[in-house]
Structure 1
Amino acid sequence: MTTLLAVLLFLNAAFNVLVWPTFYRRVAKDPRARDANGRATRFLTVHIVLIAVALTLAAASVVAGIAALVG
């Protein structure tokens, strides 16, 4: 059971690491990301926070997966 848990945690981490950086590139290119002066808008700031949280959870998933395997 712990092996299954570890595999699920690693898959979760891999998904987040693969998907969120691509999503960030799309959000950063969106016209809503910057105002007329080139400053970041709330749209960009909120998405950066969401992406940072997702990547932090991915790192925690890797640590938890390793802990599950080690015992």
Structure 2
Amino acid sequence: MSLPTPLALILILSGVWTLIVWPPFLRRIFKDPRSKDEQGAPTRFLKVHFMLISTSMILGLATLVIGIRTLVS
């Protein structure tokens, strides 16, 4: 794969940003009272946010890997 160096750096920066920003948000979601019902079971609020955050982190990791591979090659 061939991209100009500035574009590879933008991909790396974007991937790193994603992997830094989302985990603290996920921890706050787990602590949110709306995450569990009265019996302690996970609610739709938790499930939806967990899926959104995990998908974003997977895409962020893929972006980071693509940026690094592009920069190295």
Per the normalisation by structure 1, the TM-score is 0.90
CA distance in 2, matches of 1:16, 1:42: 23
Note the 1:1-71 alignment, pairs <5 A.
2-71=4-73
Runs of at least 5 residues in structure 2 that lack an aligned partner in the other structure: none
The two structures, once aligned, show a CA RMSD in angstroms of 1.2
Give the Å deviation of 1:70: 3.4
Runs of at least 5 residues in structure 1 that lack an aligned partner in the other structure: none
Identity %: 45
Give the Å deviation of 1:59: 1.2
Q: Where does structure 1 differ by over 2 angstroms across 4 or more consecutive aligned residues?
A: none
CA distance in 1, matches of 2:42, 2:15: 28
Whether the 8 Å CA contact 1:5–1:68 is kept in 2: the answer is no
Give the Å deviation of 1:61: 0.6
Aligned residue pair count: 71
CA distance in 2, matches of 1:20, 1:52: 9
What secondary structure sits across from 1:20 in the alignment? helix
CA distance in 2, matches of 1:14, 1:62: 7
